């Protein structure tokens, strides 16, 4: 896929994620169980965090050609990320998700011909997350 096709796929996955979130009654947003131990609030923050990470790494890749530092996130780091999100209110988490999504899109859009590292990072941390977690949210909200 080229850059425009990837941006279109991200936009479609974003729309589906937003619709899945909007369909959940507000009294279920903080209920754990969408995935083991996590609420929808937690999943939304998770998506927001990783979209921000993607934006940061894409900006670095574009500016320095050093590339994104991928890899596994240790359980302690994931727990810290989760705790940060749980310290935020719902509206703040949603705002961060929207802002971080736009940052990742802008950073990816800056590439005329995105390198494979940029494509992989954008794919995994944006629409890959949106599609995966949107399906979980829809199943939980049903």
Contact between 122 and 114 under an 8 Å Cβ cutoff? The reply is: yes
The closest of 70, 74, 90, 85 to 26, measured between CA atoms, is 90
Query: For 36, which DSSP code?
Result: T
Q: What is the CATH number of the domain that holds 70?
A: 1.20.120.450
Q: How many structural domains are present in the chain?
A: 1
114 torsion bin: left (phi>0), alpha (psi -120 to 50), beta (else): beta
The label of the residue with tokens 């494979």 reads 116
pLDDT digits (tens, 9 = 90+) for 29-49: 999 999 999 999 999 999 999
| 68 has a pLDDT exceeding 60 | no
pLDDT digits (tens, 9 = 90+) for 96-119: 999 999 999 999 999 999 999 999
pTM: 0.88
Domain span including residue 113: 3-141
Predicted confidence at residue 142, as pLDDT, reads: 66
Predicted confidence at residue 88, as pLDDT, reads: 96
Predicted confidence at residue 63, as pLDDT, reads: 81
């Amino acid at each position: 896929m080229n850059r425009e096709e990837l941006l279109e796929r991200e936009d479609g996955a974003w729309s589906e994620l937003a619709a899945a979130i909007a369909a959940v009654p507000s009294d279920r947003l903080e209920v754990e169980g969408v995935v083991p131990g996590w609420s929808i609030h937690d999943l939304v923050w998770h998506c927001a965090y990783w979209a921000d990470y993607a934006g940061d790494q894409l900006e670095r890749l574009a500016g320095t050609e050093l590339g994104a530092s991928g890899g596994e996130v240790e359980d302690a780091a994931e727990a810290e990320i989760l705790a940060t999100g749980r310290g935020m209110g719902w509206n703040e988490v949603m705002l961060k998700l929207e802002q971080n999504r736009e940052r990742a899109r802008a950073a990816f859009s800056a590439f005329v011909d995105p390198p494979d590292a940029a494509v992989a990072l954008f794919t995994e941390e944006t629409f890959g997350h949106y599609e995966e977690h949107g399906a979980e949210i829809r199943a939980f909200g049903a």
